[in-house]
Amino acid sequence: MKKILITGAAGDVGTRLRKILKGVYPDIRISDIRKPADLRADEQFVEADLANMAQVEKAVAGIEGIIHLGGFSVEGPWDTILNSNIVGCYNTFEAARKAGVKRIIFATSNHAVGFYPRRRKIGIDAPVRPDSRYGVSKAFGEALGAMYAYKHGLSVTCLRIGNVADAPVDVRRLSIWLHPEDLAQLIRIGLEHPDIRHEIFYGMSDNAHGFWDNGNAFRFGYRPKYKAEDYREAAVAAQAKLAADPVGDWYVGGTFCSNEFDADSGKLAQF
């Protein structure tokens, strides 16, 4: 991979990756709906609304690999999620197919499986249980990626990202935390490993109490460098200041699960 596109490059994760991957790939193009505030003179920026196919095609032209971070990154109204995360995701994959792109890294989310109880550890074979409209859009993207991999021959890696930050800031994030450099390692596996067809990896660092079995990523050589337990004392202290959330504290998806929740709270999923 020499010519790489990062969509959603103005966001927090995109901003971090631009710095980490600089020099790793010789030609990195960045794109977003708005120009990054910290755009450097040596960065190639293409403005694109993912819901606009013509703009996406312009951003994708001549690219070999895509790191697709673009879209609405939290829960939102259906129309927002539909245009940014579903139409926009389809446009990205379809433009990539037409442009002859070889590989796509799709930033999916833990919210695609948010309605699993925290006491159960799941792998990549567990059926999706989205906790929100946002989570539904990520499950859609994973399925779309599978179709483009098997029907059109793209190499697709779906990263079910937990929480990208310098440190985990509460108890839930001790289990789902992903250091930016570990994220970059997962992305490089997706862009460079010769045997990737369509794979799902969990985006988490070396978390002793992780909610997920990340054996599939390990199988492809992932070796996270950062440990969530190094930050346990601070995370537990921060958790003590938060209000109890019986639904959110039970499920992997946290507040994404309890937001708008109106089912019987006495019948939370046990497995």
Sheet of 198-203: strands edge to edge?
A: 44-47, 27-32, 3-7, 65-68, 103-109, 155-161, 198-203
pLDDT given for residue 1 in this prediction: 85
- Which uninterrupted H or E stretch holds 217? helix 215-219
Task: Enter the DSSP assignment of 265.
Answer: G
Q: What is the second-level CATH architecture of the domain 3-267?
A: 3-Layer(aba) Sandwich (3.40)
pLDDT tens digits, 181-212: 999 999 999 999 999 999 999 999 999 999 99
Tokens 């483009």, residue?
A: 148
Beta bridge partner(s), residue 107 = 159
Instruction: Copy the structure tokens of residue 88.
Output: 């926009």
This prediction's pTM = 0.97
Instruction: Copy the structure tokens of residue 175.
Output: 């289990």
Domain ranges across the chain? 3-267
* Selected catalytic residue, list 134, 202, 222, 226: 134
How many whole angstroms separate alpha carbon 96 and alpha carbon 31?
Answer: 14
pLDDT given for residue 105 in this prediction: 98
How are the residues of the chain apportioned to helix, strand and coil, as percentages rounded to the nearest 5?
40, 20, 40
Distances (CA, A) of 18 to 27, 45, 126, 181: 12, 12, 32, 11
Active site residue 90: no
Query: Which of 104, 115, 114 is closest to 199 using CA atoms?
Result: 104
Per-residue pLDDT of the chain (271 residues; tens, 9 = 90+): 899 999 999 999 999 999 999 999 999 999 999 999 999 999 999 999 999 999 999 999 999 999 999 999 999 999 999 999 999 999 999 999 999 999 999 999 999 999 999 999 999 999 999 999 999 999 999 999 999 999 999 999 999 999 999 999 999 999 999 999 999 999 999 999 999 999 999 999 999 999 999 999 999 999 999 999 999 999 999 999 999 999 999 999 999 999 999 999 999 999 9
pLDDT tens digits, 125-145: 999 999 999 999 999 999 999
